[in-house]
Chain A
């Protein structure tokens, strides 16, 4: 008996050892690209890649040049554009998502179900195919070229009510008895929204803010089509990909790495700070059945 127990313990220990090894390997594989990114951003030698791993010259030049040498690639401008877009998009998109979710979760009106079905169907069309039409609509309102930034923001937020699923799912879990109690006390639908639902919705608000803030930083399709090759209206994703084109990659790769680090740091910090809410959001949204 004791022998069997010991062998069981030994099996457990080997299993754990194997798991530790796997997890360590995974961690290395997962961290390697980021480690490489930081390393390359500090490399002094030119070129897209070197035959050795560790840089021979360490320097901060790549970071400095991003802000001083802005003739071809105006990184500070791209950064500013993307930041402005993100902030504005975050504010508008969060409002729209909250409002739509509340209406679909709590209010009962005739077109509710058809509306939800419509949004489901619309979501199945490849988004950017309608880009030409959007472009001409923007032109009609006068929001291209100089005002392309506004146009881009409009495009991002215009269909954001279609992203109501997760938020509505959250609202659905808030007990209806709370609303009913408030309604009996004479509160209007609006009062219920502002005084009952919103105070309870902090996690989902933070989740929506976080995701809508992060999305514009990686958006490529719309941004590149609207900028239409004009470097002045690139966002960081389009701009950084431009740095890696065949003609420029040799000269700009290290600078690309530096720029990537500068973009990643604030977003990573923000993400880890609010990670708890993010996890709640994705798990809450994915589980329903």
Chain B
């Protein structure tokens, strides 16, 4: 459809044709970007990983082949070689880790790991004790804990493997150093290296521990939950849940009905609105914010500081306050409707937040109110950097202010603030606060859609309701995986094209 045209042909086109051409070209590049990703990026990542594993294997092999007794003992007893060679600190740490791991696995971990494939078989409940004839409460398996602790154990095991490899590697290198009659680092020198050569380990240790425990582990957990039937009817501890494969994905992506409710249809509708919302919310704020900034920046305009301060007030006041207040002001019996009625402009209240279509418009408008000041702040400085002579020569050529805006200001701004625009777009895809505090996702959707979904719900607010109200964890996990795919696709596509990430080193 969009065959590349020669420059001459392109210049012959009308403005509308040019627009269509660019539009088509844009969509044509999408598959190419993805193809590149799958053809080049992923294989190269695998290749790198393969090389890494090969190295690890070789290191272990040489340590086993050429290692002396001390090194070889380190294969079983962590840190043995280090202790024997008087590297007390390393040796004790490794040994302590091994002991800790074995204790953890034998006392705690194996029970959960053993049940990992079924997620538990014994339901808790009242069972008659045959000896006494009295009903007793029997605690059964807790699928949730099995899943969580099972994962934790797997993570621990990976860490154990890593420690094992470290123990062997450092034992073998210590052996080599001793054989070559070089100086072996003492515990004191080891410690000092943590403020210098190994400073990154000191700095990143705690942050990465937090990241692993509170972000990575939960995300893996969530991905696993997507393949279980964890919902209201299967909520531990009184009930078990179990693996069901891709059933949840079929529920969300297929159009099947259950109890007259189509989950897939609801998902499609909310997804569409989420994307539409993110688009309008991002670009309305962006363009209007720049226009306001231009107006305030104009040389002959006075009281610049005052105008800016007024706008910045919305950033300074906590957002939830202004949003909750707005939701009250725009309610059917809120102050805006009351004022309009008392001035005789309307007879019946305008359903700003209670009519599905109007509510969507209201939300975007309120979001403009919230968002313009940010863009204004950001663009003020950049606008001053645009060379004045560009405008001068545009004026000479007879371009009006509107044309100058679209031909000079906007392209320049887009070029410079592309990363900001991406983060804004992704942030808006997941903008919980504006929707939840303004409408709570209401009004409700008509029959046939999922009962907890509302007309103005974004995927993220729907997700919140699915979890906090319906306990539909399995389905909710699928939705969040799909949300991840959506954000990843957007960012992958844009990051691939913007130079900002690639040229990181140029900046220094």
Contacts and interface: CB of A to CB of B under 8 A. Distances in A.
Contacts, number: 274
A160 B378 CA distance: 23
Contacts of A27: 307, 310-311
Interface string B270-311: 000000000000000000000010011010110000010111
B250 interface: no
B117 interface: no
A279 interface: yes
B200 interface: yes
A12 B417 CA distance: 30
Residue with the greatest number of chain B CB neighbours at <10 A, chosen from A31, A99, A193, A288: A288
Residue with the greatest number of chain A CB neighbours at <10 A, chosen from B207, B213, B295, B488: B207
A128 B459 CA distance: 12
Contacts of B378: 282-283, 286-287
Contact of B328 (A16, A137, A220, A253): A253
A130 interface: yes
B393 interface: no
Contacts of B369: 29-30
A256 B292 CA distance: 32
Interface string B309-344: 111111111111110111111010111001101100
A161 B211 contact: yes
A79 B418 CA distance: 38
B430 A126 contact: yes
Main secondary structure of the interface of A (DSSP, over half): helix
Interface stretch (A47-55, A63-71, A198-206): A47-55
Given A19-B298, A286-B420, A129 B381 contact: no
A12 B222 CA distance: 60
A126 B480 contact: yes
Interface stretch (B182-190, B352-360, B431-439): B431-439
A128 B369 CA distance: 26
Contact of B381 (A50, A214, A244, A283): A283
A129 B195 contact: no
Nearest to A29: B369
Given A49-B335, A50-B338, A96-B206, A26 B311 contact: yes
Contacts of B342: 51-52
Contacts of B433: 218, 220
A30 B310 contact: yes
A240 B295 contact: no
Nearest to B315: A271
A159 B204 contact: no
B219 interface: yes
Residue with the greatest number of chain B CB neighbours at <10 A, chosen from A102, A126, A158, A221: A126
A96 B508 contact: no
A34 B328 CA distance: 13
A158 B209 CA distance: 8
A124 B377 contact: no
A172 B500 CA distance: 13
B447 to A, nearest CB: 23
Residue with the greatest number of chain B CB neighbours at <10 A, chosen from A224, A241, A286: A286
Interface string B482-507: 01100110010000001110001001
A188 interface: yes
A269 to B, nearest CB: 8
Contact of B432 (A119, A172, A221, A285): A221
Nearest to B366: A33
B428 to A, nearest CB: 13
A42 to B, nearest CB: 15
A197 B466 CA distance: 46
A189 interface: yes
Nearest to A23: B307
Contacts of A19: 295, 298, 301
Contacts of A29: 369
Contacts of A50: 335, 338
A286 B324 CA distance: 28
B142 to A, nearest CB: 10
A130 B215 contact: yes
B338 A51 contact: yes
Given A22-B295, A159-B211, A286-B419, A241 B437 contact: yes
A167 interface: no
Contacts of B436: 220
B145 A133 contact: no
Residue with the greatest number of chain B CB neighbours at <10 A, chosen from A51, A112, A225: A51
A99 B381 CA distance: 29
Contacts of B500: 288-289
Contacts of A158: 210-211, 213-215
A129 B324 contact: no
Nearest to B468: A225
A114 B314 CA distance: 38
B476 interface: yes
A2 B202 CA distance: 73
B498 A282 contact: no
A235 to B, nearest CB: 10
Sorted nearest first, the 3 A-B pairs with minimum C-beta distance are A130-B218, A158-B214, A286-B420
Interface of B: 144-145, 148-149, 192, 195-197, 199-200, 202-204, 206-208, 210-211, 213-219, 221-222, 225, 292, 295-296, 298, 300-301, 307, 309-322, 324-329, 331, 333-335, 338-339, 341-342, 369, 374, 377-378, 381-382, 415-420, 423, 426, 430, 432-433, 436-437, 459-460, 463-464, 467-468, 473, 476-477, 480, 483-484, 487-488, 491, 498-500, 504, 507-508
Interface of A: 12, 16, 19-20, 22-23, 26-27, 29-31, 33-34, 36-37, 48-53, 96, 99-100, 102-103, 107, 109, 112, 115, 119-122, 124-134, 136-137, 140, 154-155, 157-162, 172-173, 176, 188-191, 193, 214, 217-218, 220-221, 224-225, 237, 240-241, 244, 249, 253, 256-257, 260, 263-264, 267-268, 271-272, 275, 278-279, 282-283, 285-289
Given A115-B204, A264-B321, A287-B419, 6 more contacts: A12-B300, A103-B204, A126-B463, A126-B480, A161-B210, A214-B318
22 contacts: A26-B307, A49-B328, A49-B333, A49-B335, A53-B339, A103-B200, A125-B222, A126-B459, A129-B476, A132-B144, A134-B218, A140-B149, A158-B211, A188-B192, A189-B197, A214-B318, A217-B318, A267-B318, A271-B315, A283-B378, A289-B418, A289-B498
